[in-house]
Amino acid sequence: MSLMSFSVRGDVKPESLGFTLPHEHLGMEFNHFYRKPPQSIAEYLNRDIDIRNVGYLRQYPYSCKYNLCFNDNETFQSITSDVHMFKKLGGGTIVENSTEGLDRNVSRYKYCSEKTGVNVVAGTGYYISDTLPCNLQFSSTEEMYKHMRNELTIGCSEDDTVKAGFIGEIASVWPLRDSERKAIQATGELQEEIGCGVSFHPHRDPEAPFEIIRLYLEAGGKVNKAVMSHLDRTLLEDQKLLEFAELGTYCQFDLFGVEVSYYQLNASIDMPSDAQRLDKIKLLVDEKKEEKILMSHDIHTKHRLTKFGGHGYHHILLNVIPRMKTRGFSLDVIDTITIRNPAQWLAMPTMQD
């Protein structure tokens, strides 16, 4: 059986993907997550980004509507520039995780890929219920299944010259909403048929990843093709992380570059630093789980792009990989996490099979 990965520019052999970021965004709308800023700094966040407010934005990124608009022309030009730098430093592939509810634009992803030479893999699926238009909130499991299947096998709804290369990110809150539960079930059914990779976005509750995978497996999905995203802000206790890792999914740490003393979307926890993320990855490596680890940045706001004072898509390559080497990660383990694991996750049978 031959295996192939599907990028926005066409088929790509999995072994040709190279260094891969499995969870990023190259354009989306995130205004749903706006949070009112502290009154004392509100004047600094109600405007464009410059040297006078970028420090505040790093702590309160969701309190600036300009920062949350990640699909305007200025942002896209900055994204393309940063993807160029990712390519220059050795990057090969970016997996774009925007789905229904996030204003996905696969034509722009294709343009970015053509301009930079970086493979871009587009996803299909459904984000959290509250971001979906009313007609999609009440879609049936069968309707969701058919929509995602068409985008994987025929072409995406807004540009049928582009096929999706995986399902995701399939997102949910806690407790799960009805539409989110149906999306997870449809994903499991479709994954069993197509054999594609899947990426899940859990809510910020340690029980959420376990429930998502339970529903997915019950629907027929294969555990070795599933990614659980955002574990660096979800499973903070070592024992809970090790327990989840035993299920056999890919464990993804995808907030590299986010280093804040206050996490707006869950003020009850401390957002880990990059050093602490590496501690969690080392914990899994020591347990012989290196073949089930993925790393990324999940860039989805302006302030994380270099034009706006951020680190860009090359942060892991430039700043994190060297730290991994000094912390005792072997080159083989690093290549497994950043090259071989994403390639195996994205590989799927060709249609003639």
Convert the pLDDT of each residue in 34-68 to its tens digit. Answer: 999 999 999 999 999 999 999 999 999 999 999 99
The b/e string for 2-30 (b: 16+ C-beta within 10 A; e otherwise) is ebbbbbbbeebebeebbbbbbbbbbbbbb
- Please report whether residue 5 resides in a domain: no
Give the rounded percent of residues in the chain with a pLDDT score beyond 70.
99
The tokens of 328 are what?
Answer: 């005792």
How far out from the chain centre does Cα 203 lie?
Answer: 14
**Are the beta carbons of 216 and 245 closer than 8 angstroms?**
no
The pLDDT mean for the chain works out to 97
Q: Is residue 1 part of a domain?
A: no
Nearest to 105 by CA among 84, 75, 82, 130: 75
pLDDT tens by residue, 76-127: 999 999 999 999 999 999 999 999 999 999 999 999 999 999 999 999 999 9
- Given a cut of 80, whether residue 353 has pLDDT beyond it is no
Given the DSSP bridges, would you call strands 348-349 and 3-7 parallel, antiparallel or unpaired? antiparallel
Q: What is the DSSP letter of 173?
A: -
| pLDDT value for 335 | 98
CA distances from 64 to 45, 68, 103, 202 (A): 5, 7, 19, 24
The CATH number covering residue 143 comes to 3.20.20.140
| % residues pLDDT > 90 (the chain) | 97
- Per-residue confidence (pLDDT) for residue 1, from 0 to 100: 64
More confident residue, 313 or 353: 313
- Element spanning 252, H or E: strand 250-253
Asked, for residue 16, whether it belongs to a domain, the answer is yes
pLDDT of residue 2: 78
256 in a structural domain: yes
Range of the domain at 168: 12-346
The predicted structure's pLDDT at residue 168: 98
CB 107 within 8 A of CB 132: no
SS3 (DSSP) at 168: strand
Asked if pLDDT for residue 216 goes beyond 60, the answer is yes
Q: Average pLDDT of 7-21?
A: 97
Nearest to 245 by CA among 284, 199, 201: 284
Residue 2 domain-assigned? no
Distance CA 162, CA 113 (A): 12
**Ordered alpha helix ranges (H), 12-63:** 42-45, 54-59
Q: Is residue 76 part of a domain?
A: yes
Q: Give 242: exposed, middle or buried? Use CB within 10 Å, 0-12, 13-18, 19+.
A: middle
Q: Which residue in 168, 195, 162 sits closest to 184, CA to CA?
A: 168
Q: Is residue 233 part of a domain?
A: yes
Section 246-273 average pLDDT:
96
Residue 320 lies in a domain: yes
| Count of structural domains, the chain | 1
Are 28 and 71 within 8 A, CB to CB?
Answer: yes
Question: Are 187 and 193 within 8 A, CB to CB?
Answer: no
How far is the C-alpha of 304 from the C-alpha of 20, rounded, in Å?
A: 18
Return the pLDDT at 100.
97
